[in-house]
């Protein structure tokens, strides 16, 4: 795509953004509970539109070259991502389910399941690629010191005579196999000649021979045509891969090369812009700085005189924390300042009168509070409403900046995508003004002291600290640092040596394959609870973990989520998702699994120190993922005999305390995985893990995609001989791990070499599947029963029961009317 194409895409994106901002205000109005479905539909529609806008902004930001536009795009990209996360949170609260069914909304908006895919901004990894590479080198260096002998291992020696005998055996066996094959072919030819001699030659006339040849040839041609027509039809409906796949891949590779070229241009233009920023700052400070300084001084002196004339005393100078003199003169004329001062004098008089009247009214208010609270509770229960957004004001500000600065700017002014010098000077002028204002404030504070001493003959009045409201804590209690004298590097090395910090395997989130749940709304209408598909699980992990950990700005704006629990049978890919989160965000991987803690940091103080060091390093080297495998062991109802030695519950209290200290901006996430949550105390588990994602067995659509993609990943292109649909049907109850095991067992190196002569067929996988134990329905039902005991599961069950009761009551009324 050209620069003009990206510019047009940016313009159309802002048209969509304006439409979405217009829809935001009506969404804040309370909606009666009976209109819950329409409220959910509006939320889902807005969520899908913001997802599409996020995808557009990510594409434009990744390829736009102009540095000033990129800064605005980055703010908009982060704010839109934050709004997507806010809307996801609202959808969960409205639908009482982690994976609301959006198939009906997709159909109404004429969208495909691909439009529901959560885009992961490319800058997550591009901007921290250097830091990730350096961290990987440090980790590899520490690990190499731990195992110095591993690289120096030598193979077991063999005597020369034994080696010669071994080679001779192999060569004689090869020659014997070739000779046997050759003799088999000779015998087959001799047998054919013998049969021909015994049966005799069948003689045809010239016409009979011609007709026979024509029959065979015409039949062959027709079969080929029929086969080609069928293949064309199957390719058209997407049931077979396109033969032009090689050409398609070459086009994609060329496009990727051009994208890399544009990224290199971005770096060049950014360097030019950074140099221009320094130059513009110095130029403005030298030329316009003195005039700004004198103007500010005159304005502040005028304020001193006017305040003294009105009140008979000089005012208190604003503190630097409150903005200094900027808080007084921000976008105000001298007349407005004078009016404000007069209003302040009148307000002080009014406040004194109101204080005396308020004392008598307090008792009446206390009596009314009980009734009002009850009424409010009833209104809240009967009303649905979206919470105020942190992101919408920033999105509106970015949109206004685009309209004022970039919308009407002609692209022919900067054909080479250089920075706009006028816009740059305006931005730098504000920065220079703030720097000069700080200097002026220091000078004018001293001048105010001198005026008080000379005119009023009084010393400086100390500033009063703001009164703290009783009963309310101003901040969270800070954690005591148990390692104040240790450097981050030494703590990092200690965690690597003890095995608590591991190197994560490189796994892309898109490799977690699964298809969309197409019948979610239909199942809901039939009063059946739709289970999440693998597609839904992938999207939830992208929303809850990847987007939040990838950017500090998104993490600060989005609703705070500190921990996730992945619940599902063995083989569902829970560890793979943890590795994918680390890969997509470049995060460190800490392992606090009970099995990994055996013999490390013994004792009560040791457990406290271990959790402290892990969370300290995780916060200092953000982003970080703290993984706990077999998370149920930390919250055992009763510890089994075989697990008593490892003492799995020893970090339970310290883990809970450390999690509470995580605040918005701390890109640290706890991810637990478990296949037996029934063994744990559900209250403690749900208190630590804020989001619980249930992972049931894959449905038919996901199994079909799994078989197809996993076979293609082994380098085998499925043919018509391989019935993938039958494999997907037969493998019901098997997890993705089982399917991968079966494919790896069948597609060995020897079988891969035989594919040209003997194509792959479905029956070859049945034997391997039969050797594996599937996930039985009883096990899955047990997990479902446990999930419905979680806080969100309880709300969902209660809502469904209320719906059924309401429908039964409605039917009963209709029957009475008929009678």
Render pLDDT for 163-178 as a digit per residue (tens, 0 to 9).
999 999 999 999 999 9
Residue 664 domain-assigned (yes or no): yes
Residue 706 domain-assigned (yes or no): yes
Total-model pTM: 0.81
pLDDT of residue 1: 65
Q: What's the pLDDT band for 332 if we cut at 50, 70, 90?
A: low
Residue 576 domain-assigned (yes or no): yes
Question: What's the whole-number mean pLDDT along residues 267-271?
Answer: 86
Tokens representing 229? 């027509």
Residue 404 domain-assigned (yes or no): no
CA angle 555, 572, 784 (to 5 degrees): 85
Q: Is 757 helix (H, G, I), strand (E, B) or coil?
A: coil
Establish how many alpha carbons lie within 13 A of residue 578's alpha carbon, considering only the half-sphere containing its beta carbon.
28
Query: How do residues 417-451 score in pLDDT, each as one tens digit?
Result: 777 788 888 888 888 888 888 888 888 888 888 88
Q: What are phi and psi of 409, to 5 degrees?
A: -80, 130
DSSP notation for 336-381: HHHHHHHHHHHHHHHHHHHHHHHHHHHHHHHHHHHHHHHHHHHHHH
Going by their DSSP bridges, the two strands 563-567 and 691-694 should be labelled as: parallel
| Contact indicator for 594, 808 with CB cutoff of 8 Å | no
Tokens representing 433? 């003004």
Which residues face 691 on adjacent strands? 564
pLDDT of residue 150: 41
Establish how many alpha carbons lie within 13 A of residue 270's alpha carbon, considering only the half-sphere containing its beta carbon.
10
Q: What's the pLDDT band for 379 if we cut at 50, 70, 90?
A: very low
Burial class (CB in 10 A: 0-12, 13-18, 19+), 575: middle
Give yes or no: residues 569 and 607 share one domain. yes
Answer yes or no: is pLDDT of 552 > 50.
Answer: yes
Give yes or no: residues 641 and 748 share one domain. no
Query: How do residues 595-642 score in pLDDT, each as one tens digit?
Result: 888 888 888 788 899 999 999 999 999 899 999 999 999 999 888 888
Residue 330 domain-assigned (yes or no): yes
Answer with the one of 681, 696, 711 that is the final residue of a domain: 696
Residue given tokens 């394959």 in the structure block: 513
Answer yes or no: is pLDDT of 190 > 80.
Answer: yes
Establish how many alpha carbons lie within 13 A of residue 342's alpha carbon, considering only the half-sphere containing its beta carbon.
6
CATH code assigned at 678: 3.40.50.300
Q: How many residues does the chain have?
A: 819
Answer yes or no: is pLDDT of 738 > 90.
Answer: yes
| Contact indicator for 329, 337 with CB cutoff of 8 Å | yes
Answer yes or no: is pLDDT of 414 > 80.
Answer: no
Q: What's the pLDDT band for 211 if we cut at 50, 70, 90?
A: very high
Q: CB within 8 A of 4, min separation 6: which ones? A: 411
Going by their DSSP bridges, the two strands 588-591 and 691-694 should be labelled as: unpaired
Residue 740 domain-assigned (yes or no): yes
Q: CB within 8 A of 404, min separation 6: which ones? A: none
Rounded to a whole number, what is the distance in angstroms from the first to the last CA of the chain?
70
pLDDT of residue 422: 83
| Contact indicator for 578, 673 with CB cutoff of 8 Å | yes
pLDDT of residue 410: 58
Nearest-angstrom CA–CA distance, 27 and 19: 13
Nearest-angstrom CA–CA distance, 332 and 136: 54
Query: How do residues 688-699 score in pLDDT, each as one tens digit?
Result: 999 999 999 999
| Contact indicator for 779, 735 with CB cutoff of 8 Å | no
Nearest-angstrom CA–CA distance, 780 and 699: 13
Share of residues in the chain with pLDDT > 70 (%): 86
Domain enclosing residue 641, as ranges: 483-512+551-696
Give yes or no: residues 318 and 444 share one domain. yes
Give yes or no: residues 454 and 312 share one domain. yes
Give yes or no: residues 764 and 639 share one domain. no
Tokens representing 173? 């066996």
Q: CB within 8 A of 742, min separation 6: which ones? A: 765, 768, 769, 772
Give yes or no: residues 748 and 666 share one domain. no
Give yes or no: residues 443 and 580 share one domain. no
Give yes or no: residues 671 and 714 share one domain. no
Nearest-angstrom CA–CA distance, 638 and 633: 9
Answer yes or no: is pLDDT of 765 > 80.
Answer: yes
Answer yes or no: is pLDDT of 392 > 50.
Answer: yes
Nearest-angstrom CA–CA distance, 546 and 548: 6
Strands (E), 127-248: none
Nearest-angstrom CA–CA distance, 200 and 399: 92
Answer yes or no: is pLDDT of 138 > 80.
Answer: yes
Q: What's the pLDDT band for 710 if we cut at 50, 70, 90?
A: very high
Answer yes or no: is pLDDT of 194 > 60.
Answer: yes
Residue 503 domain-assigned (yes or no): yes
Give yes or no: residues 654 and 729 share one domain. no
Residue 667 domain-assigned (yes or no): yes
Name which residue leads in pLDDT, 225 or 306.
225
pLDDT of residue 335: 54
Share of residues in the chain with pLDDT > 90 (%): 34
Q: What are phi and psi of 384, to 5 degrees?
A: -110, 135
Query: How do residues 228-249 score in pLDDT, each as one tens digit?
Result: 999 888 888 877 766 666 566 6
Give the total number of structural domains in the chain: 4
Averaged confidence pLDDT in the chain: 83
Name which residue leads in pLDDT, 253 or 745.
745
Give yes or no: residues 763 and 660 share one domain. no
Give yes or no: residues 581 and 704 share one domain. no
Give yes or no: residues 662 and 791 share one domain. no
Q: Is 692 helix (H, G, I), strand (E, B) or coil?
A: strand
CATH code assigned at 721: 1.10.8.60
Q: What's the pLDDT band for 375 if we cut at 50, 70, 90?
A: very low
């Amino acid at each position: 795509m050209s620069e003009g194409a990206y510019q047009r895409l940016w313009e159309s994106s802002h048209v969509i953004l304006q439409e979405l901002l217009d829809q935001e205000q009506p969404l804040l109005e309370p909606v009666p509970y009976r209109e819950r479905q329409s409220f959910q539909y509006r939320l889902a529609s807005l969520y899908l539109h913001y997802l599409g806008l996020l995808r557009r902004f990510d594409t434009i930001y990744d390829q736009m070259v102009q540095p000033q536009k990129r800064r605005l795009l980055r703010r908009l990209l982060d704010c839109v991502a934050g709004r997507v996360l806010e809307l996801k949170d609202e959808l969960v609260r409205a639908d009482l389910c982690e994976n609301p069914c959006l198939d009906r909304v997709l159909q109404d908006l004429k969208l495909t399941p691909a439009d529901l895919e959560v885009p992961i901004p490319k800058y997550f990894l591009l901007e921290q690629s250097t830091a990730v590479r350096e961290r990987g080198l440090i980790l590899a260096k520490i690990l190499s010191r731990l195992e110095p002998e591993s690289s120096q291992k030598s193979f077991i020696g063999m005597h020369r005579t034994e080696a010669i005998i071994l080679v001779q055996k192999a060569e004689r066996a090869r020659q014997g196999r070739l000779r046997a094959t050759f003799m088999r072919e000779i015998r087959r030819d001799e047998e054919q000649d013998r049969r021909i001699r015994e049966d005799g030659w069948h003689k045809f006339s010239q016409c009979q021979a011609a007709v026979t040849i024509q029959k065979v040839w015409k039949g062959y041609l027709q079969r080929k045509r029929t086969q080609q027509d069928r293949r064309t039809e199957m390719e058209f409906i997407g049931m077979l891969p396109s033969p032009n796949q090689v050409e398609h891949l070459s086009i994609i590779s060329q496009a990727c090369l051009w994208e890399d070229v544009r990224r290199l241009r971005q770096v060049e233009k950014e360097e030019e812009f950074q140099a221009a920023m320094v130059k513009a700052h110095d130029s403005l400070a030298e030329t316009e700085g003195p005039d700004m300084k004198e103007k500010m001084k005159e304005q502040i002196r005028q304020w001193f005189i006017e305040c003294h004339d009105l009140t008979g005393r000089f005012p208190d100078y604003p503190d630097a924390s409150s903005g200094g003199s900027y808080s007084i003169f921000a976008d105000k004329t001298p007349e407005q300042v004078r009016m404000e001062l007069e209003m302040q004098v009148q307000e002080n008089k009014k406040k004194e009168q109101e204080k005396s009247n308020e004392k008598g009214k307090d008792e009446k208010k206390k009596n009314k509070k009980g009734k009002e609270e009850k009424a409010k509770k009833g209104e809240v229960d009967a009303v649905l409403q979206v919470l105020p957004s942190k992101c919408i004001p920033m999105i509106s500000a970015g949109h206004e900046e685009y309209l004022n600065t970039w919308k009407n700017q002609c692209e022919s002014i900067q054909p080479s995508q250089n920075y706009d010098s006028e816009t740059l000077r305006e931005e730098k002028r504000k920065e220079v003004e703030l720097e000069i204002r700080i200097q002026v404030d220091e000078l004018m504070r001293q001048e105010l002291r001198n005026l008080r001493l000379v005119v009023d003959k009084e010393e400086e009045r100390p500033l009063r600290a703001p009164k703290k409201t009783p009963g309310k804590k101003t901040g969270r209690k800070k954690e005591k640092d148990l390692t104040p004298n240790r450097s981050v590097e030494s703590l990092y090395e200690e965690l690597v040596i003890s095995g608590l910090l591991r190197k994560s395997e490189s796994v892309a989130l898109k490799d977690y394959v699964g298809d969309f749940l197409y019948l979610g709304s239909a199942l809901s209408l039939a009063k059946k609870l739709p289970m999440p598909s693998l597609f839904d699980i992938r999207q939830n992990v992208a929303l809850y973990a990847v987007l939040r950990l990838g950017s500090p700005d998104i993490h600060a704006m989005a609703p705070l989520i500190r921990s996730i629990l992945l619940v599902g049978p063995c083989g569902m890919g829970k560890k793979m998702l943890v590795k994918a989160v680390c890969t997509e965000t470049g995060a460190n991987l800490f392992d606090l699994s009970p099995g990994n803690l055996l013999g490390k940091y013994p004792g009560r103080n040791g457990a406290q120190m271990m959790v402290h060091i892990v969370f300290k390093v995780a916060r200092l080297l953000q982003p970080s993922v703290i993984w706990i495998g077999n998370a149920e062991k930390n919250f055992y109802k009763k510890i089994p005999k075989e697990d008593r030695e490892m003492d799995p519950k020893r970090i339970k209290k310290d883990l809970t305390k450390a999690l509470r200290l995580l605040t918005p901006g701390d890109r640290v996430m706890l991810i637990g995985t478990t296949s037996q949550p029934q063994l744990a105390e559900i209250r403690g588990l749900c208190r630590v893990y804020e989001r619980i994602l249930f992972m049931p067995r894959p449905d038919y659509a996901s199994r079909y995609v799994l078989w197809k993609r996993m076979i293609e990943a082994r380098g085998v292109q499925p043919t018509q001989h391989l019935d993938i649909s039958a494999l997907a049907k037969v493998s019901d109850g098997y997890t993705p791990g089982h399917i991968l095991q079966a494919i790896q067992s069948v597609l060995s190196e020897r079988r891969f070499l035989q594919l040209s002569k003997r194509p792959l067929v479905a029956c070859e996988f049945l034997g391997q599947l039969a050797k594996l134990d599937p996930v039985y329905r009883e096990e899955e039902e047990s997990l479902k029963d446990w999930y419905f005991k979680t806080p969100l599961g309880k709300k969902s069950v209660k809502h469904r029961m209320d719906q059924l009761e309401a429908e039964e009551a409605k039917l009963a009324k209709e029957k009475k009317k008929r009678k």
